[in-house]
Amino acid sequence: MSASLLVLIPLLPFLGFLINGIGFRTIPKGAVGIIGSLAVIGSFALSLNAFNAFVAAGSTPFVLPLFDWITVGDLNIPFSFQIDQLSLLMLMIITGVGSLIHIYSIGYMKHDEGFGKFFAYLNLFLFFMLLLVLGSNYVIMFIGWEGVGLCSYLLIGFWNKNTNYNNAARKAFIMNRVGDLGFLLGIFTIIATFGSVEYLEVFSKATGFQVGDPVIIAITLFLFIGAMGKSAQIPLYTWLPDAMAGPTPVSALIHAATMVTAGIYMVIRSNVLYSLAPSTLEFVGIIGGATALFAASIGLLQNDIKKVLAYSTVSQLGYMFMGLGAMAYSASMFHVITHAFFKALLFLGAGSVIHAMSDEQDIRSMGGLRKKLPITFLTFLIATIAISGIPPFAGFFSKDEILAHVFEHNKLLWVVGVLGSLMTSFYMFRLLFLTFFGKFRGTHDQEHHLHESPASMTIPLVILAVLSALGGFIGVPEALHGTHKLAEFMSPLYEGSRQVNPEAFLPTTLSHSEEYILMAVSVGVALISLIIAYVMYVQKESVPAPDSEEKSAVQNLIYNKYYVDELYNAVFVKPIKSLSNVLYSFGEFFIDLFVNGTARLIAFLGGLLRKTQTGSTGDYVFAMVLGIVVILFWKLLL
Amino acid sequence: MIPNPNIPEVIQNVPLQYYLILSTLLFVIGIIGVLTRRNAIIIFMSVELMLNAANILLIAFSSYRSDPSGQVFVFFIMAVAAAEVAVGLAIIVMIYRNTRNTDIGFLNKLKW
């Protein structure tokens, strides 16, 4: 695998962005979709090729230097790519799921005016995301980090004629900026501590530190603040549900499968630093657990098909952080992979439903779609089973592995995780039953328009469904007589961590029977939720009450997302707005005084001076002669 | 003024002061002409007069100091003046075509 081919992996989507971005007014629609998709499929093929070459060459990580980028004093930041197990896995998820979503978008966005613009943005997003995972130091990661934030902003506000959508885009951007500040501070602290930002150098130097060193704790906490913003954890999660304002493929690609997992990627990448800071990990675990439970509970009562999935994403990201908190890095990565499959599938399925329902997103107006959208229904069902953690689909293996590690680490968090899992299963089956079972509750027009989506949309659904069903088999736990291929593959990544914190990597103390019990519990709660949801929504055919109806206090609280948005509005947004209003009018007054005063003075003096411009040539000549005389007197006589 | 042995007799016969007085007179006549007359052509001629007053001065000093560069300078001035006359007269012709007059009193549009 030559170096130039590796460079092409991020460059192909960038090329696609340039072509579609510059020519989106002139290139015909058919060509736009093909160019955009081919760029991504090309880099997927290259990624696969790179992965095979890497495995064939004995899985030795290497750094691919491209050019010297920043050299200031002793600090040298090269622009180079790091090829190792982690970056290759991320490459495959991003380009693989990305390709499917691009193909899906050709069908989904077909009637949109901004078709070319959409593909240009999607390609740009992939470029930045690939940069994020390929970079060999924190600064390149930061470029990607900011770039994907920008693309997320552009795509959330893609339908920018709607003010609410624009507000959602701004909210996402600003919340991410809060996290980015933490990330930047983390990078600065790394530079101050290690004198380098290159992963290899930083981690090899970090192995010299003691476990629990305050500097390392500070660095990891700062970096985690960045991850909170990007991966939508408490308290910076409120942007993600609002981000559903964007087109559905965007929600699938950016806000489910790839960008939001950047925080998890970052923590796994810095696993040496995090293993050195147990107190940070504790914090990560608690935040993750709290988010998993909190977001899942909000998801229980949402009626917008995409909002349910958004809260589910937040909650699943919480699981991943919970796993990271228990130092189950491979398990979290495993969940990133399976989550990318089934959540992308859920979003794309939801997109297919929305497409069929003529842009209706409220599940109260759906129902009985299973006969009209058979492929969408089947794939959605598989994804629902996968996310609920029912074997043998993908979600079961990854979630169970996380829960097993958490159980070993902290029993209370495990209880939180199981509760979250109970809710996950409930809201997912509630969504499934309300959408696809029972009678159709929409308008007559909508019923008339119901149709299965075109092949460009259903083929990605089917591929993702296969992956969601079988994806779990890359990490079958030992207790089930399988081999955990993923963990074995990723194991070299933790050399440094193993060196600094050996206790954390001891083989599990859980006996097989204990593991069976844990599995039985998590599958049990998922099944119980399934049955409850079935009884409620299929047998009794109950439909969530319309907004106008009175609800109990608890229901109201959850339905309104615990009033967190209102709280943030009151605590942060309003005070800052009024402060800036005050500062604005204050500044306005003084600056206007100065600027307008200067203008008036000049105008007044100019008014005096212009009287000398009489227009009569004689006067000018006289003034000239007078001037000469004065100069002569000045020079000769004085 | 100390007679300079290098200066030929013929030139020394007329003292330098005379040249100064002559050129000053010409220059003052020029200024008065420019200031008092309203006809563009006369003003133009007065300007030429001032220019030549300066030329006389340059030649006089050049001769009395045996320094030819002053005279070279005058040749330049004459050449440039010839070109300038062409332009100046052309402007006056244009003024005449526009106003049917060469009175500069008519040209008072350029003001506040």
**Which of A239, A257, A259 shows the shortest CA–CA distance to A132?**
A259
Q: Which of B38, B110, B112 sits opposite A610 (nearest CB)?
A: B112
Instruction: State yes or no: pLDDT of A99 exceeds 90.
Output: yes
- What own/partner pairs with CB < 8 Å and gap ≥ 24 does A67-74 have? A69/A139, A70/A139, A74/A195
A617 touches chain B (CB under 8 A): yes
B10 touches chain A (CB under 8 A): no
Which residue of B lies nearest to A618 if distances are taken between CA atoms?
B35
For residue B34, give how far its alpha carbon lies from the nearest alpha carbon of chain A (Å): 8
Q: Cβ contact (<8 Å) for A622 and B35?
A: yes
Q: Supply φ then ψ for residue B68, to 5 degrees.
A: -70, -15
HEC letters along A409-457: HCHHHHHHHHHHHHHHHHHHHHHHHHHHCCCCCCCHHHHHHCCCCCHHH
| Domain coordinates in residue numbering, chain B | 15-100
For residue B10, give how far its alpha carbon lies from the nearest alpha carbon of chain A (Å): 33
Distances A332 to A57, A255, A326, A398 between C-alpha atoms, Å: 26, 17, 10, 8
Is residue A500 within 8 Å of A209, Cβ to Cβ? yes
For residue A619, give how far its alpha carbon lies from the nearest alpha carbon of chain B (Å): 9
Round the average pLDDT of chain A to a whole number and report it. Answer: 88
For residue B111, give how far its alpha carbon lies from the nearest alpha carbon of chain A (Å): 4
If residue A80 lies in a helix (H) or strand (E), which one and from where to where? Answer: strand A75-83
Is residue A271 within 8 Å of A220, Cβ to Cβ? no
Task: Decide the pairing of beta strands A62-72 and A75-83.
Answer: antiparallel
A69: helix, strand or coil: strand
Which residue of B lies nearest to A616 if distances are taken between CA atoms?
B108
CA-CA distance, A500 to A493, in Å (whole number)?
13
Q: Which of A34-38, A85-89, A207-211, A307-311 has the lowest mean pLDDT?
A: A207-211
B91 touches chain A (CB under 8 A): no
Q: Cβ contact (<8 Å) for B110 and A615?
A: yes
Distance of CA A392 to the CA centre of its chain: 27
Q: Cβ contact (<8 Å) for B112 and A618?
A: no
A65: helix, strand or coil: strand
Could you count the other beta carbons within 10 Å of the beta carbon of residue A160? 12
Residue A572 DSSP label = I
B97 touches chain A (CB under 8 A): no
Q: Supply φ then ψ for residue A137, to 5 degrees.
A: -150, 170
> What's the pLDDT tens digit per position in A161-220?
889 999 999 999 999 999 999 999 999 999 999 888 898 888 888 888 888 889 999 999
CA-CA distance, A440 to A460, in Å (whole number)?
26
A626 touches chain B (CB under 8 A): no
Distance of CA B44 to the CA centre of its chain: 10
Is residue A511 within 8 Å of A477, Cβ to Cβ? no
Sign of torsion over alpha carbons A270, A272, A273, A279 = positive
B31 touches chain A (CB under 8 A): yes
Helix ranges (H only) for A437-552 are: 444-449, 455-470, 485-490, 495-500, 512-534
Instruction: State yes or no: pLDDT of A448 exceeds 90.
Output: no
Which residue of A lies nearest to B105 if distances are taken between CA atoms?
A616
End-to-end CA distance of chain A: 87
> What's the pLDDT tens digit per position in A39-76?
999 999 999 999 998 888 888 888 888 888 888 888 88
Q: Cβ contact (<8 Å) for A616 and B31?
A: no
φ/ψ bin of A40: left (φ > 0), alpha (ψ from -120 to 50), beta (otherwise): alpha
Q: Cβ contact (<8 Å) for A621 and B35?
A: yes
CA-CA distance, A431 to A422, in Å (whole number)?
14
Q: Which of A29-33, A80-84, A318-322 has the lowest mean pLDDT?
A: A29-33
pLDDT-above-70 percentage for chain A? 100
Interface test with B, best of A608, A617, A636 (most B CBs within 10 A): A617
End-to-end CA distance of chain B: 54
For residue A616, give how far its alpha carbon lies from the nearest alpha carbon of chain B (Å): 5
Q: Supply φ then ψ for residue A362, to 5 degrees.
A: -85, 120
pLDDT, residue A109, reads: 87
Structure tokens at A470: 């079988």
pLDDT, residue A1, reads: 55
CATH architecture of B15-100: Orthogonal Bundle (1.10)
Which residue of A lies nearest to B47 if distances are taken between CA atoms?
A621
Is residue A158 within 8 Å of A171, Cβ to Cβ? no
CA-CA distance, A227 to A260, in Å (whole number)?
9
Q: Burial of B54 by CB count in 10 Å (0-12 exposed, 13-18 middle, 19+ buried)?
A: middle
For residue B11, give how far its alpha carbon lies from the nearest alpha carbon of chain A (Å): 29
B105 contacts in A (CB within 8 Å)? 616-618
Over chain B (112 residues), the average pLDDT of each successive run of 10 is 64 86 94 89 92 93 87 93 93 89 80 68
For residue B57, give how far its alpha carbon lies from the nearest alpha carbon of chain A (Å): 17
A618 touches chain B (CB under 8 A): yes
A618 contacts in B (CB within 8 Å)? 35, 38, 104-105
> What's the pLDDT tens digit per position in A494-521?
888 888 877 777 777 777 888 888 888 8
CA-CA distance, A197 to A190, in Å (whole number)?
7
B43 contacts in A (CB within 8 Å)? 621
B14 touches chain A (CB under 8 A): no
For residue A597, give how far its alpha carbon lies from the nearest alpha carbon of chain B (Å): 23
B38 touches chain A (CB under 8 A): yes
CA-CA distance, A134 to A224, in Å (whole number)?
20
CA-CA distance, A19 to A168, in Å (whole number)?
28
> What's the pLDDT tens digit per position in A368-377?
888 888 899 9
> What's the pLDDT tens digit per position in A582-623?
999 988 888 889 999 999 999 999 999 888 888 887 888 888
A311: helix, strand or coil: helix
Sign of torsion over alpha carbons A43, A47, A48, A50 = positive
State the amino acid at position A130 in one-letter form. L
> What's the pLDDT tens digit per position in A209-253?
888 889 999 999 999 999 999 998 988 888 998 888 889 999 998
Q: Cβ contact (<8 Å) for A615 and B108?
A: yes
Instruction: State yes or no: pLDDT of A261 exceeds 80.
Output: yes
pLDDT, residue A219, reads: 92
Q: Cβ contact (<8 Å) for B38 and A618?
A: yes
CA-CA distance, A5 to A19, in Å (whole number)?
20
Q: How long is chain B?
A: 112
- What own/partner pairs with CB < 8 Å and gap ≥ 24 does B36-45 have? B38/A618, B38/B103, B38/B104, B38/B105, B39/B102, B39/B103, B39/B104, B40/B92, B40/B95, B40/B102, B40/B103, B40/B104, B41/B92, B41/B102, B43/A621, B43/B104, B44/B88, B44/B89, B44/B92
B93: helix, strand or coil: helix
Residue bearing the bigger pLDDT, A506 or A526 = A526
